[in-house]
Amino acid sequence: MDYFNPQLDIREINNLSMLGLAHVGDAVYELMTRTLLCAEGHAQASDLHHRTVEYVNASFQAAAAAKILSLLTEEELGVYKRARNAKVHSVPHHAQVSEYHAATGLEALFGYLFLQGKKDRLNELFHAIHREEP
């Protein structure tokens, strides 16, 4: 198995829990964020960490989800909504419950797309999240 390009069968992906998809998607989203920051020239470890934390948190990810909802296919929106509505066992103290749920939906969507090997779609959505508004 190529873990950087898994391309799981849709049945295998659908057998995973929404929180399992979010677990994978959290790592995918953070890796994409770290790559973006390095590509922008942020080289010092402390700067990279602080910048990463700005983008990889419930509040930012909830806003990111809202930004791309209109771009999602019906299937993607279904994954997002199922994960957003999944029962989580705890919410970090620094996050609002609604933001944490939306962030979980975004992470599950990224996990879902990654496990299918849909890198182009991941890049498209990630770019839309980080595109500067006119």
Give the catalytic positions in this structure.
Answer: 26
d(CA 114, CA 112): 6
d(CA 127, CA 68): 10
Locate all alpha helices (DSSP H) within the chain, ordered by sequence.
10-14, 18-39, 45-55, 58-68, 74-84, 97-115, 119-130
d(CA 130, CA 133): 9
Handedness of CA 39, 42, 45, 49 (dihedral sign): negative
